[in-house]
Structure 1
Amino acid sequence: MKNISLVILAILALSACKEEAKEQKQDIVVNYPETKKVDTITNYFGTEVKDPYRWLEDDKSSETEDWVKAQNVSTYGYLDNIPYREELKERLSKLWNYEKVGSPFKEGDYTYFYKNDGLQNQYVIYRYKTGEDPKTAEVFLDPNTFNDEGTISLGGASFSKDGKTLAYAISEGGSDWRKILIMDTETKKIVEDTLIDVKFSGMSWYKNEGFYYSSYDKPKGSELSAKTDQHKLYYHKLGTSQKDDPVIFGGTAAQKHRYVGGRVSEDNKYLVITASVSTSGNKLFIKDLEKPNSSLITVVDHTNSDTYPIENVGSKLYLVTNLNAPNKKIVTVDASNPTPENWVDFIPETKNVLSPSTGGGYFFAEYMVDAVSKVMQYDYDGKLVREVELPGVGSAGGFGAKKEDTELFYSFTNYVTPGSIYKYDIKTGASKVFVKPEIDFNPEDYESKQVFYASKDGTKVPMIITHKKGLELDGKNPTILYGYGGFNVSLTPSFSIANAVWMEQGGIYAVPNLRGGGEYGKAWHDAGTQLKKQNVFDDFIAAAEYLIAKNYTSSDYLAIRGGSNGGLLVGATMTQRPDLMKVAIPAVGVLDMLRYHTFTAGAGWAYDYGTADDNKEMFEYLKGYSPVHNVKEGVQYPATLVTTGDHDDRVVPAHSFKFAAELQDKQTGNNPTLIRIETDAGHGAGTPVSKTIEQYADIFGFTLFNMGFEVLPSDTKEKVKG
């Protein structure tokens, strides 16, 4: 067992009457729990790799449970002694406490919308009769009533075509496993038995008769960590038992895929089936639902592209694809002969990445231009109608509606602008504010600037840096560098309450658009995958070096943060360049790169990572950056707060457990290496607001404390350096 004693730097306490501050000192002693080592060894292509903490992978073990409890005692013993942690929590709660309203949508005779009054743990669904005053809206479905702790969340909702029946999914404790309940929307009564053991699924209705959904067979062993490999598409007909739901696709060896999805076209004519072996690329099939017992028609028979239908007019299909078009395009083809050689360009590929939608009889082509939105409206002949005038520079989304609608609602946000909802007249192109939040934050006091910097190999990478106006570039500003860099995910500007509190305290928030993401299309994504994954880490390191070189911050005031694949990013960066930052916050990270594919649906991430079983070259490459395998004796790592959830069945918490154990065993110097394990929480989605606020208070408190900062009362919105 290791003990470290940290002397808190002088804390300046500012009284209400601004009396002279007095210096306070106290010691925080961290008693790390004992973590046993076992002689577990795996041979990869002739190389033996020790895995002393593999026993922590057993989430059903009482030993693992005891270890989790002991680690949390140690971690909270430290966090509880940060003097301004409660002030941060209070400020987060105060700023979070404003009404948040989602875009309205019509189903049957009603208009629905999601709303959170402020600090509700989960968003509530409201509705009013379409055409009546929205002020008459009533509560339709309140997930906050599912349990007292707010840890059962809504995992999706889908209405029948006539709007009279709702299928909604719930997640318990943050798990990806779902249950589906079926409700009569008039009486708000549950009308059937609950469907169970549903995972990675939408719910798509065929008329008003039933819906398609997807799941795996329940795994043997732990449902939170055991491998799930064969996804299947089912059809549930109302009035029947789930055990009688037929498998529509995925029940045979020839149809074995890790991810299968089914969706019915808006006109009920086609069932669209996508089938994938990884998170990138899909096969595509359609079935004519107007012809009983019709066979599946193959559209794309390989997984070398991402292709899906966005619309159809009769048998004319409109497909979105990146096949031979890395930035995506829309093509048309007849369903009778839909294979790629028959495709005709409808909206051709451009130099910017396309994310299209439809509504009111038009196509809306949203483009990312250096990670910010530009939206073009086209008619069904492919003629450009107009460029949509957006409220500013940032991220716009939600340009979708039913074909008969005459208006739609879209959202707009950026790093300093809280998300607002705009009503858009589809015919005229006129926008007007529909919902603008009233929040205790003034965007005019802050600025966001996009810069471009050179990575290690010379590649130009964009980064948006946000902070208070008038910030002094003295190299001593607390800075969070946040990144992801994977799975074709794009980090576009969006407002965060937590980040607003960070910036109030004088903090800088910087987000680079790393390779591996989707900001510049498939080529940008592929440049950060498998044997090119180091590009992502190099891009992140170069971003940190840019911020330091330009005197925004320095290594003593820099924190790096990311979650999931971003947790891997943080883990790899801190083990490769521990000198570069003062604080590291890897959240729900993929940290054991030799075994990630053996848990739940992890094998589906192989497009991005490759696996240690592929070949010797891939094994050695993964081992070369795997955070769990690259913690070294005699190295001083940054102050580290690993965060995870005990119900995370996407990136199992064993990744974080093993990484924390390695750090605690090998850390040199006085920087703490702690792990914060949230109970009854998963990968992040559906986390109650109360838990989220507590987590950010801990993260910001830990970060500022280890940088030697005193956070003053939040109403001063100042900072003092220790």
Structure 2
Amino acid sequence: MNKMDSSQTTVTPPIAEKRPQVLELHGDKRIDNYFWMRDHQDPKTIAYLEAENAYTQAKIQHTEAFQQQLYEEMLSRIKETDLSVPYRKDEYYYYSRTEEGKAYPIYCRQKGSLDAPEEVLLDQNELAQGHDFFSIGVLQVSPNHQILAYSVDTTGSERYTLFFLDLNTRQLYPESISDTYFSLAWANDNQTVFYTKLDDANRPFQLFRHTLATDVNEDILIYHEPDDIYYLAVGKTRSQAYILLSLGSKITSEVHYLDANNPTGKFQLFHPRSTGVEYDIDHHNDYFYIVTNEQAINFKLMKTPVNSPSKENWQTVIPHREDVMLSGISLFANHLVIYERKDGLPIGRVQNLKTGEEHNITFPEPTYSFFEGSNPEFDTTTLRIHYTSLITPPSVFDYDMETNERELKKETEVLGGYDRTQYNSEKLMAPAPDGTQIPISIVYKKGIKKDGKNPLYLTGYGAYGASYPASFSSTRLSLLDRGIVFAIAHVRGGGEMGRKWYEDGKFLHKKNTFTDFIACAEYLISEGWTTSNKLAISGGSAGGLLMGAVVNMRPDLFKVVVADVPFVDVVTTILDTSLPLSAMEWEEWGNPNDKVYYDYMKSYSPYDNVEAKDYPDMLITAGLNDARVKYWEPAKWTAKLRELKTDDNILLLKTNMGAGHSGASGRYESLKELAFEYAFVLDRLGVEKRPGIRDRD
């Protein structure tokens, strides 16, 4: 094939100015030549980002037609005018719908039945007019269904402004509340709301009580959390009986509760925080149920009387198990739903609270993802669940908790004649250096041979105990149909194999995450799935840290790397407690003020370990308004790579100058960003433009 070669475009890459800054801790002096990029008020900072964007555009210009082809291809699979499955709450059926040509959802409801006239609650497209970025945070209707609380972010900074809309008059209440987070709870009086405010580091740290149609300056501060490592959230039990104030760090939690019928009452402490002990509570009739890891690394379930909830009255419902992790529970009037993980897969059980009888929610595929859908009603026997796999489009089921029967309400339609029987998904196990078996979820088009000639796209995350879902993506078909094998490395640091899996990939075990990923790549090569010169890898945020670490450790192993909003300047960022990824992150990565952690973190921090050597083709992305991973981390990393790398491979930095951590808002702009990344990867792998043809040997 005549491969699209970006070298045809001769452009000089930007060279960032060096301004050496000495950073010293524990007697160790680090020289940071690009520390100055943190100042976005410095004209040279924006000039550098814009120069990198211009360079990226010039180097990728030859793929513009291919990008458009990919965009149209991916868009053509999406049913642009579509409807979500309505869920019932009291007399109303709530749902969202999309319309062709409109970038955002329209939120609606019908009263009494699905044959009733539609009422539009909120048209996000109208609100987004005039904004390059638009995101909805809170979207909650009052208990009497007459008032809508919603919040918006127009920059990508994740600082939301809260509004209240009278659904009868369609008039906004006069007040709005700025600098809120996406956490809110209505009291049962339909006039009182509890909301959270952000501090300067974007940490939700205060809980306020607001009465509708009153001056927000008169709102009552209910709780202030002074400890920088704790985040604050507010919610409500499905029973509607209690409002819950939840406080949590990475390893410790604390809950306060309030009678939802008495919003001016005082929140009661459920159980005081104890370092390393996590718990959540929910309510059912005369009991609180508690999911906790106290003396139970994989969590256990307890319950205690509402009128005497102190620790001495806690009773065991589900004991701790070494081979099963209790992920959470869901309580209904007559049923308890239990969510667990076993052997790397999510599983579910339903228990009848009257008879004690149980049954499992089972699924047929070797690797999949399922989670609870919208279930606002307490007194119901129907459980709404969502299911998907690498080859099964997102599917919504109503599950009868009495009969163990499920009804498919909707499977997301994939236009263009998608046939799942043309694809295979498997679960593989790769041996890590210490002998641990690392799960890999893999999907490919039938007919692929394990001859070492397939291009392969490998991704992973491995942080915060988050499990990387094995879920369907219609956009991914643009890879699979071109003969690319897609794989997910479920590395340690995630939660796929239980809590210990997470513990074994954090703190002073963090390097397991990186060596696990490398082991997965080596295994896929050794088994004939691909070869290093056809291997692309990708990860975002903490997954971007994973990309940065493995590309420093084994740059020879990969052909192409995509690092989206990567957390790569680990030591400097976590030392700065004015940033969101700082004090709270000490319980994930370690506190670098402790020399043991400082030395360990510095030994893998991607920015600190860039060396004068060859690196693969790389695409790095950033968001100027990113509140989670500041733009300067990918920018500094790119500048240092340019300074030191010894190869002629392509290195691109693409900064979205009007968005944050999640990139562009709106489905069309998001697709364009993905088409850009796919075009880069396919170009560098030398894969044919047309689907259905593998690159010639």
Same fold, judged at TM 0.5 (above): yes
Matches within 5 A, 1:416-435: 416-435=391-410
2:688 aligned counterpart, secondary structure: strand
**Cα deviations by residue, 1:455-506 (Å, 9 ceiling, x for unpaired):** 1111111111111011021212111111000101011211112222211111
Tell me how far apart the structure 1 counterparts of residues 275 and 642 of structure 2 sit (CA, whole Å): 42
Match of 2:347 in 1: 374
Task: Indicate how the Cα distance of structure 1 residues 119 and 552 shifts in structure 2: closer, same or farther if over 3 A, else same.
Answer: farther
The whole-number CA distance in structure 1 between the counterparts of 2:6 and 2:372 is: 52
Q: Distance in 2 between matches of 1:231 and 1:282?
A: 14
User: 1:368 & 1:146 partners in 2: Cα distance?
Assistant: 40
Cα distance between partner residues in 1 of 2:550 and 2:7: 32
In the other structure, the counterpart of 2:371 is: 397
- After superposition, the C-alpha distances for 1:544-567 in whole angstroms (9 at most, x for unaligned) are 001110111111011111111101
Secondary structure, in 3 states, of the residue corresponding to 1:538? helix
Structure 1 gap ranges (5+): 1-8, 13-23, 220-226
Deviations 1:23-49 (A, max 9, x none): x99712242122101121111100100
1:96–1:119 CA contact under 8 A, matched in 2: no
Which 10-residue stretch deviates more, 515-524 or 565-574? 515-524
The CA deviation string for residues 162-201 of structure 1, in whole angstroms up to 9 with x for no partner, is 2211111212132211111111223433223221111353
Please give the secondary structure, in 2, of the residue aligned with 1:188: coil
Partner of 2:174: 192
| CA distance in 1: counterparts of 2:7 and 2:588, whole angstroms | 46
Instruction: List aligned pairs for 1:301-316, cutoff 5 A.
Output: 301-314=273-286, 316=287
Q: Give the match's secondary structure for 1:659.
A: helix
Output the CA distance in 2 between the equivalents of 1:122 and 1:290. Answer: 35
Distance in 2 (CA, whole Å) between partners of 1:117 and 1:287 is 41
Instruction: Summarize the alignment of residues 181-260 of structure 1 with structure 2, pairs less than 5 Å apart.
Output: 181-199=163-181, 201-217=183-199, 219=200, 227-228=201-202, 231-250=205-224, 253=226, 258-260=230-232
Q: Tell me the equivalent position of 1:5.
A: none
Kindly indicate whether residue 679 of structure 2 is the aligned counterpart of residue 708 of structure 1: no
Deviation at 1:319, TM superposition (A): 1.3
CA distance 1:96–1:606, change in 2 (3 Å): farther
Secondary structure of 1:285's counterpart equals strand
Query: CA offset at residue 93 of structure 1?
Result: 1.9
Q: Describe the superposition over 1:498-523 as per-residue Cα deviations: whole angstroms up to 9, x where unpaired.
A: 22221111111111211111122221
Instruction: State the match for 2:126 in structure 1.
Output: 145
- Could you say which residue in structure 2 is the equivalent of 1:680? 658
For 1:489, the equivalent position in structure 2 comes to 466
Q: Residue 261 of structure 1 corresponds to which residue in structure 2?
A: 233
Q: Secondary structure at the match of 2:475?
A: helix
Partner of 2:581: 602
Residue 611 in structure 1 maps to residue 611 in structure 2: no
Alignment of 1:70 onto 2:47: no
Distance 1:686 1:201, change over 3 A: farther
> Offset of 1:268 from its aligned partner?
4.7
* Deviations, residues 642-687 of structure 1 (Å, cap 9, x unaligned): 0121111111111111111111111212111111112322111772
Alpha-carbon shift at residue 204 of structure 1 (Å): 4.4
For 1:271 and 1:177, locate their aligned partners in 2 and report how far apart those are by CA, in whole Å: 23
Aligned residue for 1:545? 522
1:121 to partner: Cα distance = 2.3
User: Structure 2: how far apart are the matches of 1:146 and 1:273?
Assistant: 30
In 2, distance between residues paired with 1:720 and 1:321? 52
Kindly report which structure 2 residues correspond to 1:655-670, keeping only aligned pairs within 5 A, or say none.
Answer: 655-670=633-648
1:565-644 matches, cutoff 5 A: 565-597=542-574, 598=576, 599-603=578-582, 604-613=584-593, 615-633=594-612, 635-644=613-622
Aligned-partner SS, 2:499: helix
What is the aligned partner in structure 2 of residue 328 from structure 1? 299
Q: Structure 1 residues 414-423 or 317-326, which shifts more?
A: 317-326
Partner of 1:387: 360
Q: Deviations over 1:294-352 (max 9, x none)?
A: 463341422423211122314x2111222222222321012444344432112333422
1:554 pairs with 2:531? yes
Query: Aligned pair in 2 of structure 1 residues 25, 236: CA closer, same or farther (>3 Å)?
Result: closer
Measured in 1, the distance between the counterparts of 2:319 and 2:357 equals 12
Pair 1:281 & 2:259 matched:
no
CA distance in 1, matches of 2:644, 2:354: 64
Residue of structure 2 equivalent to 1:651? 629
- Whole-angstrom CA distance in 1 between matches of 2:441 and 2:485: 10
Q: Give the direction of change, closer, same or farther, for the CA distance of 1:256–1:596 in structure 2 (3 Å limit).
A: closer
User: Could you tell me which of 446, 455, 461 is aligned with 2:438?
Assistant: 461
Q: Which amino acid aligns with 2:573?
A: Y
1:352 is aligned to 324
Q: Which amino acid aligns with 2:581?
A: G
Deviations 1:235-269 (A, max 9, x none): 11212222211111116x5x665301222334454
For residues 409-430 of structure 1, the C-alpha deviation after alignment (integer angstroms, 9 at most, x for no partner) is 2211111111011222333232
Which one-letter code corresponds to 1:600 in the other structure? L
Deviations 1:614-640 (A, max 9, x none): x1111111111111111112x110100
Matched letter for residue 596 of structure 1: T
CA distance in 2, matches of 1:146, 1:53: 39
**What is the one-letter code of the residue matched to 1:495?**
F
Q: Please give the alpha-carbon distance, in whole angstroms, between the structure 1 residues aligned to 2:49 and 2:355.
A: 57
Number of aligned residue pairs: give it.
685
Q: Distance in 2 between matches of 1:402 and 1:25?
A: 56
Measured in 1, the distance between the counterparts of 2:392 and 2:267 equals: 50
Structure 2 vs 1, CA of residues 460 and 466 (structure 1 numbering), >3 Å: closer, same or farther? same
Matched-pair contact (CA < 8 Å) for 1:479–1:558: yes
- Corresponding letter in the other structure for 1:176: E
362-371 vs 694-703, which deviates more? 362-371
Give the C-alpha shift of residue 696 in structure 1: 1.5
Name the residue aligned to 1:18.
none
Q: CA deviation at 1:375?
A: 1.8
Counterpart amino acid of residue 143 in structure 2: K
Question: Given that residues 711 and 720 in structure 1 are in contact (C-alpha distance below 8 angstroms), is that contact kept between their aligned partners in structure 2?
Answer: no
What displacement does 1:371 show? 3.4
Does structure 1 residue 450 correspond to structure 2 residue 432?
no
The TM-score, its normalising length taken from structure 2, stands at 0.93
Describe the shift of the 1:103–1:41 C-alpha distance in structure 2 as closer, same or farther (beyond 3 A).
farther
Question: What residue identity is the alignment partner of 2:43?
Answer: S
* Alignment partners' CA distance in 2, 1:690 and 1:569: 28
Residues 183 and 235 in structure 2, CA contact (< 8 A), matched pair in contact too: no
Equivalent AA in structure 2 for residue 321 of structure 1: T
User: Aligned-pair distance for 1:103?
Assistant: 4.1
Sort the Cα spacing of 1:686 and 1:180 in 2 relative to 1 into closer, same or farther, 3 A.
Answer: farther
- CA positional deviation for 1:579: 0.6
Could you tell me how far apart the structure 1 residues matched to 2:79 and 2:638 are?
A: 34
Of 11, 16, 20, 2:3 maps to: 11
| Distance in 1, Cα, partners of 2:2 & 2:114 | 60
CA-atom RMSD, angstroms? 2.4
User: 1:216 & 1:303 partners in 2: Cα distance?
Assistant: 24
* In structure 2, C-alpha distance between the alignment counterparts of 1:84 and 1:379, rounded to whole Å: 55
Provide the residue aligned with 2:487 in structure 1. 510
What CA distance in whole angstroms lies between the structure 2 residues aligned with 1:155 and 1:625? 35
What percent identity do the matched residue pairs reach? 26
